[in-house]
């Protein structure tokens, strides 16, 4: 009887262990073997081909330039935005914050198509500029400047989520003390406030460089013929059997660079810590800018950024309510809900929405279930052994791996029969995309779930145990209710992450079902943008898809903001 209970207790860990070995470790080892092993010997031929390929080296150079540039430009804009809404006393700060938060729900391939709609060949901004400068090329918004402009503003979402929170946690007494010693506003900002933000900014800088390094949607849609980065090049190489090895090797190279950057970030974070707190910290108060000229300039720049962020969002919402002719000409006509009705009642255009919702929800739930098993084990003293610690370590691996590396590893490994999945071939089927989505959310889910378990009152569970309550019953009735709000917030973030995903979906989706990100990318093709698949053209469909995603994202963000106060302790 005890053996049966012991086995039932270990069954969740066994299932999780099988999943992690099969879908996290095996694909990466398989990819390494595919790249480095030829016949009976080790080979470096794929890397030699990469470093002698003009296309690959050009893409690699572009990615490095984009990553470095983005780390500077997005940080400058993001820091300014965070200071405007959390540090300075700015008129209309709530309106500014609402506009700045659109970067969270308006992102990925959706924001790329939105900027293309506004600034592209037929965009109303382009037409207005051509009236001022008649010789302006209609393709002016392409290449590196366009990609950097888009990503600079789109990549500030993390600043709005994390940097604003860090500013609000500053100890106001340190600012008051500096002021009493004669420090002016500039000195306080540069010598007290910004140094206190360095650990968070270090993490954000590494994330920005990684974002630029692995950029997919923006270079693919706005890069034009002369600006391609690593990830779109990997996608191109993957489509040809003759260059598939190059795609695998290039994805490994991208993964190696991201691992080095993450290790560098951890080293910098541990090297120096900043603490500006008194024994009894005072809550932060917003600071008025005393110099009229500086105050006016900050207000102008703040609202200019707000306008830049809201212009694609507003245009998307407004033109989604007009006719196809109005969308094509970008001239407002009669408003109608007919396009929404058509999209939501036509199977060809409705199916991508349903597909993405189903995949995003199921993968979010799967990641949480796996995370609950491992987090529960590693946070309990009696079960935090080597095996469970190893499971946790494996779950964090996808944080080090770019989407193309994960995707190509899965495609390569499960393109042939594997014993661990019952000798089934998964590549080209319906399950591989779900597995890929789940894998990429494992690190995030585990990180926050561990924090939640540490915040649970252990005394209540011990009391239930002393009364003879079984382990599963204790977990479901005592532990989980204390974590409910946090788990819902993690679920919301996991769903939001994959609703419009393109970077992973384009590699793993099955021809039988098309996720929303892939459908949106297909609709940006000039042929589909005019004719489309179904009763509405691709341009109109993309606008409506974008609005639907923003509505869903706003609802999930509202859930997240209401519940996140239970997740903040011991997380960052």
Encode pLDDT of 416-469 as tens digits: 888 888 889 998 889 999 999 999 999 888 888 887 777 776 666 667 666 766
pLDDT of residue 277 exceeding 60, the answer is no
Q: Residue 150: which pLDDT band, with cuts at 50, 70 and 90?
A: very high
The pLDDT assigned to 462 comes to 64
Q: Which of 443, 448, 450, 555 is nearest to 499 (CA)?
A: 555
Q: Is the dihedral of CA 391, 393, 396, 398 positive or negative?
A: negative
Q: Residue 9: which pLDDT band, with cuts at 50, 70 and 90?
A: low
Query: Do residues 231 and 402 lie in contact, with contact meaning Cβ atoms separated by under 8 Å?
Result: yes
The mean per-residue pLDDT over the stretch 126-149 comes to 91
| Span 322-356, pLDDT tens digits | 877 777 666 676 788 888 888 888 888 899 999 99
Q: Do domains 1-43+338-572 and 57-244+274-319 have the same CATH topology?
A: yes
With vertex at residue 502, the alpha carbon angle to CA 498 and CA 507, rounded to the nearest 5 degrees, is 110
Q: Residue 508: which pLDDT band, with cuts at 50, 70 and 90?
A: very high
Options 3.40.50.10880, 1.10.3720.10, 3.50.50.60, 3.40.50.410; CATH for 1-43+338-572 is: 1.10.3720.10
Q: Residue 534: which pLDDT band, with cuts at 50, 70 and 90?
A: very low
State what percent of residues in the chain have pLDDT above 70. Answer: 85
The pLDDT assigned to 50 comes to 81
State what percent of residues in the chain have pLDDT above 90. Answer: 23
- CA gap 455, 27 in Å, rounded: 35
Helices (H), 108-229: 108-119, 124-132, 143-154, 157-158, 164-168, 172-180, 185-188, 194-196, 198-213, 217-222
Report which of residues 520 and 166 the model is more confident about. Answer: 520
- CA gap 28, 98 in Å, rounded: 41
Q: Which residues contact 190 (CB under 8 A, 6 or more apart)?
A: none
Q: Which of 502, 545, 521 is nearest to 346 (CA)?
A: 545
Q: Residue 381: which pLDDT band, with cuts at 50, 70 and 90?
A: low
The pLDDT assigned to 464 comes to 65
- CA gap 227, 86 in Å, rounded: 37
Place of tokens 């769903």: 495
Q: What is the DSSP letter of 224?
A: T
The pLDDT assigned to 254 comes to 82
Q: Which CATH class is domain 57-244+274-319?
A: mainly alpha
Q: Which of 532, 17, 32, 86 is nearest to 324 (CA)?
A: 532
pLDDT of residue 281 exceeding 70, the answer is no
pLDDT of residue 514 exceeding 80, the answer is yes
The pLDDT assigned to 416 comes to 87
Mean model confidence pLDDT for the chain: 82
Q: Is the dihedral of CA 541, 542, 546, 552 positive or negative?
A: positive
- CA gap 329, 285 in Å, rounded: 48
- CA gap 152, 149 in Å, rounded: 5
pLDDT of residue 103 exceeding 50, the answer is yes
Report which of residues 221 and 249 the model is more confident about. Answer: 221
Give 89's strand partners: none
Q: Residue 263: which pLDDT band, with cuts at 50, 70 and 90?
A: confident
The pLDDT assigned to 533 comes to 47
Place of tokens 């979402």: 157
Q: Which residues contact 93 (CB under 8 A, 6 or more apart)?
A: 84, 85, 286
- CA gap 218, 143 in Å, rounded: 10
- CA gap 273, 252 in Å, rounded: 33
- CA gap 119, 224 in Å, rounded: 14
- CA gap 227, 142 in Å, rounded: 8
* Both structure tokens of 378: 């590693």
Q: Which residues contact 465 (CB under 8 A, 6 or more apart)?
A: 474
Global confidence as pTM: 0.82
- CA gap 229, 244 in Å, rounded: 17
Q: Which of 535, 488, 495 is nearest to 516 (CA)?
A: 495
| Span 24-35, pLDDT tens digits | 999 988 777 777
The residue extents of the domains of the chain are 1-43+338-572, 57-244+274-319
The pLDDT assigned to 469 comes to 65
Q: Residue 45: which pLDDT band, with cuts at 50, 70 and 90?
A: confident
Q: Residue 148: which pLDDT band, with cuts at 50, 70 and 90?
A: very high
pLDDT of residue 378 exceeding 50, the answer is yes
The pLDDT assigned to 5 comes to 53
């Amino acid at each position: 009887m005890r053996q049966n209970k012991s086995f039932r207790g270990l069954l969740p860990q066994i299932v999780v262990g099988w999943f992690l070995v099969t879908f996290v470790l095996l694909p990466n080892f398989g990819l390494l073997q595919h790249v480095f092993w030829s016949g009976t010997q080790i080979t470096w031929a794929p890397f030699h081909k990469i470093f002698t390929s003009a296309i690959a080296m050009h893409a690699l150079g572009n990615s490095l330039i984009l990553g470095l540039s983005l780390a500077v430009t997005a940080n400058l804009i993001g820091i300014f935005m965070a200071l405007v809404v959390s540090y300075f006393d700015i008129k209309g700060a709530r309106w500014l914050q609402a506009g700045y938060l659109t970067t969270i729900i308006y992102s990925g391939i959706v924001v790329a198509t939105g900027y293309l709609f506004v600034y592209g060949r037929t965009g109303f901004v382009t037409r207005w500029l051509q009236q001022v400068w008649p010789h302006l090329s209609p393709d002016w918004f392409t290449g590196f400047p366009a990609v950097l402009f888009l990503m600079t503003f789109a990549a500030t979402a993390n600043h709005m989520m994390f940097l604003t929170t860090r500013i609000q946690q500053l100890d106001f007494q340190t600012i008051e003390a500096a002021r009493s010693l004669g420090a002016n506003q500039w000195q306080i900002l540069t010598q007290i406030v910004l140094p206190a933000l360095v650990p968070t900014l270090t993490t954000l800088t590494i994330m920005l460089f990684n974002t630029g390094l692995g950029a997919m949607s923006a270079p693919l849609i706005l890069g034009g013929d002369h600006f391609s980065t690593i990830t779109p090049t990997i996608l191109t190489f993957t489509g040809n059997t003759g260059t598939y090895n190059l795609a695998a090797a290039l994805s490994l190279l991208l993964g190696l660079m991201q691992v080095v950057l993450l290790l560098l970030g951890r080293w910098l974070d541990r090297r120096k810590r900043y603490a500006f707190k008194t024994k009894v910290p005072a809550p932060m108060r917003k600071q008025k800018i005393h110099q009229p000229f500086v105050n006016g300039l900050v207000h102008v720049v703040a609202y200019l950024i707000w306008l830049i962020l809201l212009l694609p969002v507003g245009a998307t919402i407004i033109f989604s309510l007009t006719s196809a002719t109005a969308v094509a000409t970008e001239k407002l006509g009669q408003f109608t809900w007919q396009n929404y009705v058509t999209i939501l009642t036509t199977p060809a255009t409705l199916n991508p929405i349903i597909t993405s919702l189903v995949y995003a929800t199921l993968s979010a739930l799967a990641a949480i279930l796996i995370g609950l098993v491992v987090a529960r084990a590693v946070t309990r003293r009696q079960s935090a052994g080597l095996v469970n610690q190893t499971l946790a370590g494996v779950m964090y691996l996808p944080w080090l791996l770019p989407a193309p590396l994960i995707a190509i590893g899965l495609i390569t490994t499960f393109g042939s029969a594997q014993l661990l999945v019952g000798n089934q071939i998964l590549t080209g089927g319906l399950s591989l995309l779900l597995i890929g989505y789940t894998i990429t959310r494992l690190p995030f889910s585990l990180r926050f779930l561990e924090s939640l378990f540490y915040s649970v009152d252990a005394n209540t569970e011990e009391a239930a145990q002393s009364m003879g309550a079984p382990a599963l019953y204790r977990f479901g009735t005592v532990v989980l209710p204390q974590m409910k709000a946090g788990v819902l917030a993690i679920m919301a973030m996991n769903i939001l992450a994959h609703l419009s995903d393109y970077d992973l979906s384009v590699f793993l989706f099955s021809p039988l079902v098309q996720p929303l990100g892939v459908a949106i990318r297909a609709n940006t093709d000039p042929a589909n943008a005019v004719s489309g698949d179904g009763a509405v053209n691709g341009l109109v469909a993309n606008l409506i898809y974008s609005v639907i995603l923003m509505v869903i994202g706003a609802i999930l963000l509202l859930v997240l903001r209401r519940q996140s106060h239970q997740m903040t302790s011991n997380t960052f």
